[in-house]
Structure 1
């Protein structure tokens, strides 16, 4: 584990909300799961900028991978995860089967999306390297980290486009939203 991964694990452990989500989801025994996106990178931004844990976090994105790409199978997992949480977390944990993303992504975001072979593979397709970070609470209580672009950008408060994909249709909105809450961020194009 690198120094930045250890630092990220410490930040995650210090965030009671994020740990609650990780602990609850681990108990569900989902296949190939991660909590990723805003709940993770925003926790780092909060720690780096001295904001309280949980500041600005609106939801917890939970990805898992099940080769059954039917809506019915995903709906069963969505309902199961929701039943595991009390409010407000019940409404804040957003579950998506990463094996299904290619079925709806182009219709929603206007760009093609090849099928994935696992949850961690999705992180390399996020719109910014700083956003492509996921964590999981393992059975031995270790926090495993997946970050295909590394953790340098997220800890340096840098947002830059993912050069391995077209500039996202909602890029400007995502950047404006982030910089409004964390004005210390530096946007690099």
Structure 2
């Protein structure tokens, strides 16, 4: 049960542990360094690469285990065209050449334009990258980090961190995302059998 040693602690204590773990992970550290150099507006490295790295650390698995890619959000309302986003994606691809994992870049100002066609459900127009975390299928996955103006790593976690440190995947019913919650929960259990999945 040592992997649960941080569950139930205060948010401030969990926040410090979380940031220590992700900043020490070589994959995350290198990604964050390269993202910073891109200079994207309102950017966040989010989700799987972060909480998976915490689970790897707490269960003694190597860096990068179970992680498919790194998700990078940014928010730019100045041009909502596909072409503008694609230009950023291409620029980012050059920046991330040589990383061990692919980096998926998405402008959160555009999600409402394509979400319904892809997932058959409506999606609100967002006002920031951080707001997107509130609509993730599982509360556990709603985490993001970026460098603040002080140069320190800052955390965005609208539902806190206790689900991550409790190895618990908890549904977020803000949207009808049951299928995504169940699919990601099942996949997580394959890699980290310590995980429990809360039913939708």
TM-score, normalised with respect to structure 1 = 0.93
For the Cα contact (< 8 Å) 2:115–2:122, is it kept in 1?
Answer: yes
Q: Does 1:98 align with 2:111?
A: no
Contact between 1:33 and 1:136, CA under 8 Å: does it hold in 2? yes
Aligned position for 2:38: 28
Q: Does the residue aligned with 1:2 lie in a helix, a strand or coil? A: helix
The DSSP-based 3-state class of the residue aligned with 1:124 is helix
Deviations 1:30-53 (A, max 9, x none): 100000011011111112222222
Q: Equivalent residue of 1:80, what SS?
A: helix
Determine whether 1:79 maps to 2:90.
Answer: yes
Q: Tell me the equivalent position of 2:64.
A: 54
Counterparts of 1:134-153 in structure 2, within 5 Å, are: 134-138=144-148, 140-153=150-163
d(CA) in 2 for partners of 1:6, 1:12? 10
Deviation by residue 1:48-99 (Cα, 9 ceiling, x = unmatched)? 222222211110000000002111110111011111122345x600000000
Distance 1:172 1:158 in 2: 12
Within 5 Å, which residues of 2 pair with 1:108-119?
108-119=118-129
Partner of 2:187: 177
Asked if the contact 1:26/1:138 (under 8 Å) is kept, the reply is no
**Quick check: 2:137–2:180 contact (8 Å CA) kept in 1?**
no
Cα–Cα, structure 1 residues 188 and 169, in superposed 2: closer, same or farther, change >3 Å?
Answer: closer
**Please, which of 16, 27, 43 is the counterpart of residue 17 of structure 1?**
27
Q: Using structure 2 for the length normalisation, give the TM-score.
A: 0.88
8 Å contact kept, 2:170–2:198: yes
Q: Which deviates more, 48-57 or 93-102? A: 48-57
Partner of 2:80: 69
- Root-mean-square deviation (Å): 1.5
- CA distance in structure 1 between the partners assigned to 2:75 and 2:122 by the alignment: 19
5+ unaligned residues in a row in structure 2: which ranges? 1-10
Partner of 1:187: 197
Question: Which residue of 1 is the match for residue 130 of structure 2?
Answer: 120
2: CA distance between counterparts of 1:115 and 1:140? 29
